[in-house]
Amino acid sequence: MPSNSIYARCLRGDYSFGRKYQAGVGFFRPCFVCASKGHADQIHSKTGGDNRTARNTQKETISYMTKAMDEFEALLEESFEMDTPDEGSVVKGKVIAIEAGQAIIDVGYKMEGRVDLKEFADPGEAPKIAVGDEVEVFLRQVENSRGEAVISREMARREEAWDRLEKAYAAEERVEGAIFGRVKGGFTVDLGGAVAFLPGSQVDVRPVRDAGPLMGLKQPFQVLKMDRRRGNIVVSRRAILEESRAEQRAEVIGNLTEGQTVDGVVKNITEYGAFVDLGGVDGLLHVTDMAWRRVNHPSEILAIGETIKVQVIKINKETHRISLGMKQLQEDPWDLVQAKYPLESSHTGRVTNITDYGAFVELEPGVEGLVHVSEMSWTKKNVHPGKIVSTSQEVEVMVLEIDGAKRRVSLGLKQTMRNPWEVFAETHPEGTEVEGEVKNITEFGLFVGLPGDIDGMVHLSDLSWDERGEDAIQNYRKGDMVGAVVSEVDVEKERISLSIKGVGGDKFAEAVGGVKRGSIVTVNVTKIEDGGVEVEYEGMKSFIRRSDLSRDRAEQRPERFSVGDKVDVRITNVDSKAHRLGVSIKAREIAEEKEAVQQYGSSDSGASLGDILGAALKGDE
């Protein structure tokens, strides 16, 4: 039963019937309004009073009750005609007053409620409400503790919006809204009372850095998902833009043809190119199609907002992608490359790029050649190209090869300079004395720096006349300045042989100038070793191995010699290049035996070897 009904008022005691007396014995009767025994009028009479007074009182009571009954019936009929709305429904009301930031609204049914003015305002706008306006509100509660209806304009707008949005979502229609706030992952959108979520990826077809210009602007959205029970709505602005963009792209692309020259505005610049707006559709201008020369970054020649003339290179009808070019509108410099740059001709160019395998040199805008690392220097073989040349450096190069089909030019940097080994061979013939710094020491010799940034090698055998190479190399350190003689120059193999012991003349050649293989010479014993003895001839040392100490095996004992002994030996080898002299006592004895046999007998004469040698010795005496 509604709380404001006639019956409710009766039960609360809003209606009083009959008279009340302080004295006398009271009596009770049911209420004629609601027929409730618990709710009754009490009529008192005086104990011991006269009958006339009682009868008058009764008449007055009956008259009063008859009049009240008529009024009550009128109110009851009016109550039956009014149907009090249910809580949780939307009702219409009229603004009867605006005070203290609230609008007082009469929703009928003898009910009034209050609504904050901010509920009548759109995001970012002033409230739009005035006295006398009829509005729809949401009835949350019929009566609160103050006897007022609890109503909400915002909830009414939300219910209305949800009904409208559900119909638009089912029909896949666009809805209008305004972005009014930023939240994690996106934005909030007012859809005329309902709040929706706009993901950041659905704001535009490209990432939006500044969404300020979009705030508060009424624009269309597409409802992607909605759940009324949970109160979730997800919308997209990107879907609207893509749809309109697709229509516009189809129209613009239909008017374009490959090879056509059009004007466009640079819309965006990336590392690999630039996007150009052709009037509603974007085309990609790749960095390689901007100019015939090398372009490291598109920003070198383009700026956002700049109007440029481009040529349509390719149109993909399925994906609607357009490839553009600028260099195609210019003359191709490669058409004249072979005529302007003949083979083995030298030219000045600018280093534009350096890689691990070489450096690119620009001969003219649009024409670049590669100087491979192997063609950069005669002497620096295993160094990075960046240590030989630098970016933007002007260098002189020689054209080695041209491949017009692949648009490649092979260049050489070292070819513009003379081969340092050829120069050294011309300026330092064999036998020339040079001086240089010891650059490196290895197990087989020394490397000495020479003019022209080249090195020469001193072999162990060319270090000293008096010491073995293994011992002599211990006397040298990196950075030592040494003098040497050029013994050989091989230009093709890029090798230079030096000799330190050759400084001051070839002592070996002087010492053994008249000695030939087979000659018998006298040597001095200078050292006794287990494997043989060391001897010296004219300052040149040689070594007689144990097996060469005697023809007789029993006499092949080094200890039978003493330092300072003079011994006759036979020359077995003269190596002028290695500066070595081979000597042998055994070879001398065998040679003397053969000579004695030839002079005094033969193996067939029957004479003994002792007889032959005895005769030979007598002949010598």
Q: Is the dihedral of CA 535, 537, 540, 544 positive or negative?
A: negative
Residue 361 predicted with pLDDT over 90: yes
Of 128, 157, 186, which residue constitutes the final position of a domain? 157
Which amino acid is residue 272, in one-letter code?
Answer: Y
User: What's the distance, CA 295 to chain centroid?
Assistant: 20
Give 506's pLDDT tier (boundaries 50, 70, 90): low
* 122 Cβ contact partners less than 8 Å away, ≥ 6 residues apart: 128, 178, 190
DSSP, collapsed to helix, strand or coil, labels residue 25 as: strand
CA–CA dist 511, 580 (Å, integer)? 11
Last residue of a domain, one of 193, 214, 242: 242
Phi, psi at residue 119, to the nearest 5°? -75, -10
- Predicted pLDDT at 29: 42
568/518 same-domain check: yes
DSSP at 5: S
- Would you give the end-to-end CA distance of the chain in angstroms? 170
Asked if residue 183 is part of any domain, the answer here is yes
Q: Which residue has the tokens 């229609």?
A: 173
Do 400 and 316 share a structural domain? no
List the structure tokens of 194. Answer: 């309902």
Tell me, what's the pLDDT at 37? 40
C-alpha torsion 70→73→75→78, nearest 10 = -130
Choose the weakest-confidence range: 202-216, 241-255, 321-335, 555-569.
Answer: 241-255
- How does residue 127 score in pLDDT terms, banded at 50, 70 and 90? confident
Tell me what the mean pLDDT of segment 154-179 comes to: 81
- Kindly write down the DSSP assignment for every residue of 571-596, as one continuous string: EEEEETTTTEEEEEHHHHHHHHHHHH
Most confident of the following: 4-18, 69-83, 270-284: 270-284
Q: Per-residue pLDDT tens for 297-316?
A: 899 889 999 999 999 999 88
CA distance 24 to 60: 17
Residue 558 sits in the same domain as residue 580: yes
pLDDT tens digits along 473-490:
898 999 999 999 898 899
Confidence at residue 430, expressed as pLDDT on a 0 to 100 scale: 86
587 shares a domain with 515:
yes
92 touches 136 (CB < 8 A): yes
- Computed over its alpha carbons, how large is the radius of gyration of the chain? 61
- 3-class SS of residue 420: helix
Q: How far is CA 383 from the centre of its chain?
A: 28
Contact 567, 535 (CB under 8 A): yes
Instruction: Please report whether residue 401 resides in a domain.
Output: yes
Binning pLDDT at 50, 70 and 90, where does residue 515 land? confident
Mean pLDDT of 26-53: 44
Least confident of 159-168, 291-300, 418-427, 599-608: 599-608
Answer whether residue 340 is part of any domain. yes
User: Which of 339-343, 403-407, 462-466 has the highest mean predicted lDDT (pLDDT)?
Assistant: 339-343
Domain limit, last residue, from 499, 533, 560: 499
Is residue 22 situated within a structural domain? Answer: no
Are 512 and 468 part of one and the same domain?
Answer: no
User: What is the C-alpha separation between 88 and 340, in angstroms, rounded?
Assistant: 90
DSSP 558: G
Asked whether the beta carbons of 15 and 33 are under 8 A apart, the reply is yes
Percentage of the chain surpassing pLDDT 70? Answer: 78
What does the pLDDT look like over 174-218, one tens digit per residue? 888 899 888 998 999 988 778 899 998 888 887 787 888 888 888
Q: Does one domain contain both 470 and 525? A: no
373 in the same domain as 306: no
Query: CA-to-CA distance for 292 and 303, rounded, in angstroms?
Result: 19
Give the range among 145-149, 171-175, 387-391, 578-582 with minimum mean pLDDT: 145-149
Range of the domain at 479: 420-499
Own/partner contacts of 488-496, CB < 8 Å, gap of 24 or more, are 488/430, 489/421, 489/424, 489/425, 489/428, 489/430, 490/421, 491/419, 491/421, 491/422, 491/425, 494/378, 494/421, 494/454, 495/457, 496/421, 496/424, 496/450, 496/454, 496/455, 496/456, 496/457
- 615 has pLDDT over 70: no
Instruction: Name which residue leads in pLDDT, 84 or 557.
Output: 557
Same domain, 324 and 343: no
Q: Is 15 part of a structural domain of the chain?
A: no
Residues 453 and 495 in one domain: yes
Counted domains in the chain: 6
403 with 364, same domain: the answer is yes
Q: Give the confidence band of 158 by pLDDT, cuts at 50, 70, 90.
A: confident
To the nearest whole percent, how much of the chain has pLDDT over 90? 19
Is 163 within a domain?
no
Residue type (1 letter), 381: K
Query: Does 530 fall in a domain?
Result: yes
- Determine the average pLDDT of the residues in 425-434: 88
The rounded distance, in Å, linking the Cα atoms of 380 and 364 is 28
Q: Residue 350's pLDDT band (boundaries 50, 70, 90)?
A: very high
Environment class of 498 (CB within 10 Å of its CB; exposed 0-12, middle 13-18, buried 19+) = buried
Sequence-distant (≥ 6) Cβ neighbours of residue 321 within 8 angstroms: 284, 315
> Could you tell me if 429 and 479 lie in one domain?
yes
Check which CATH number belongs to the domain holding 428 and give it.
2.40.50.140
Q: Does the residue 207 lie in any domain? A: yes
Tell me: do 511 and 596 sit in the same domain.
yes
